[in-house]
A and B are shown apart, each in its own frame.
Chain A
Amino acid sequence: AQKVTQAQTEISVVEKEDVTLDCVYETRDTTYYLFWYKQPPSGELVFLIRRNSFDEQNEISGRYSWNFQKSTSSFNFTITASQVVDSAVYFCALSEAGYGGSQGNLIFGKGTKLSVKP
């Protein structure tokens, strides 16, 4: 069965602190995709990153970085020098690749609410 677990329900930090959001996933497929989305108070889910299961290289994009470890089935997200604008709910998601029509639906974790205080 496919499952995504985000154990941290809420995190509160002070501006400029670094923060790591944890994500653990379960899947029996060997080919799959992992995602992070940001949901600000406006409600729209904003795509942040996609990784495929064959690419364990960590990625950095500005203040954001992602650590993908297949050995522990984890795909953690770190925000360096957090800012108030980073306050949002962050979702980790999994998609199993397939042929034909059944591809692309996302399995989301419950989300981690990040509050960054000035």
Chain B
Amino acid sequence: DTGVSQDPRHKITKRGQNVTFRCDPISEHNRLYWYRQTLGQGPEFLTYFQNEAQLEKSRLLSDRFSAERPKGSFSTLEIQRTEQGDSAMYLCASSLGTGGVGYTEAFFGQGTRLTVV
């Protein structure tokens, strides 16, 4: 397995357009996360899936954002009616959850850099 894969790597869109990003996690990982990273900042959590269930959403995830993971494998993040403030790097990560209390490290993809003009 080659790790977490994100597509596209770069996206330039006009304000008001819709965009969709795809993330393919490491194959045996049941947890998938989306983060957003703006210039000079650390990544900020957006949402989290365990298998196909979206279990947590950040307040950063406005109504224009929607994420899905229909079969518990790949995930998509859609932004509707993009705004210039949406310009950022969108990072996907996956991990293997073992249940109960505990944490296994998340592996990150290379991100999709979105520029809204």
Contacts and interface: CB of A to CB of B under 8 A. Distances in A.
Most-contacted residue by chain A among B55, B89, B106, B109 (CB, 10 A): B106
**Size bracket of the A interface:** 20 to 34
Given A44-B110, A110-B41, A102 B105 contact: no
A91 B105 contact: no
Given A43-B111, A97-B102, A105-B33, 10 more contacts: A42-B110, A44-B111, A45-B91, A47-B105, A102-B55, A103-B102, A104-B33, A105-B48, A106-B45, A110-B41
A62 to B, nearest CB: 18
**Size bracket of the B interface:** 20 to 34
Given A103-B103, A104-B95, A45 B56 contact: no
Most-contacted residue by chain B among A33, A35, A45 (CB, 10 A): A45
Given A31-B101, A44-B110, A104 B31 contact: yes
